[in-house]
Structure 1
Amino acid sequence: IGPFNNTGGVGFEQVYPPETAVDFSKQYQGKHALIGWVDAKTEAANDVDKIGLIDLNETLGEEKGATAYLAATFNSLREQVLQCRYGTVNATKLWVNGELLVSKNIYHMGGEFDQYIGTAKFRRGENTILLKICQNEQTDSWARQWDVRLRVTDDLGGGVQQQSGPD
């Protein structure tokens, strides 16, 4: 969902509605208009540099001074400690089930797989992963990236199996 305002970097600390409750049926006042949740698609796996990449420029349109949120449900087979590992060149905050795990107000640095790691206790059944991702106002061509790739792993970075649906 987005864009919300990040003019002058205000969006990183601003608490927008998705931070208090993830409700896919709700609409909110965004930076320019009323906005709602939309599906985001990852890039095709045949380009190794784009595996799992969500490009917000494609999903929400190219924006500067903007904040967006990505949310996903992870259905855990049991209560367990897992990691959310992600890479981005944008400022981000990451929550699992409302617990803030990572907060990085850093722009245009990195972007590799597993750049940031947040560890959380996942409960059996549905768990909500929420990522806030901010784009600043730099206009250089190399600063247009507004994307992320995220995966849920065990503590060694290995894959973990999900349930096929809620409990």
Structure 2
Amino acid sequence: MGKPYQNGELTKNGQIVKLKKYAYASTSGEAVKSGVTPARAMNFALFNDTLVGDEFISSFKSDSTDFDESKVSSIVKGKTTRHEVISTFGNPGGHAVYPLIKNKGDDALIYSYTQVSGSAFSLKIYSKQLIVAFNDKGLVSDVEFTSSGDK
């Protein structure tokens, strides 16, 4: 994959996680929404040189990772199953384990979307991420939704 466009670190659950980010954008590609610059990103998270998370993000029409955030409230801890989450939101763009999520032994599905629109002088960036963790019975143990920016 070559050299990442960005390296970084993040402290999660008291542990330092290394981040490697790769990205691609094209003004000639077809975006999922009008006025958006189509782009893709692939992010990797490593803890003690072990992969603990991956995340694919796209605003290209052909493989968009956009999801309906209005359905996040339908996820119920201890009740909603992995199958129900995938049925509601589609296939995830990423996965994570501890320390990216709270509980050791759990695993998580990641849904992420970012869009960039406007010009260099009036750039608008909007991002959203849903992380749904599951226990060993396949039931939701934690839900984390964040969003930022202007649509």
TM-score by length of 1: 0.28
Structure showing the higher strand proportion among its residues: 2
Question: Does 1 or 2 have the higher relative contact order (CA < 8 Å, sep 6+)?
Answer: 1
TM-score by length of 2: 0.30
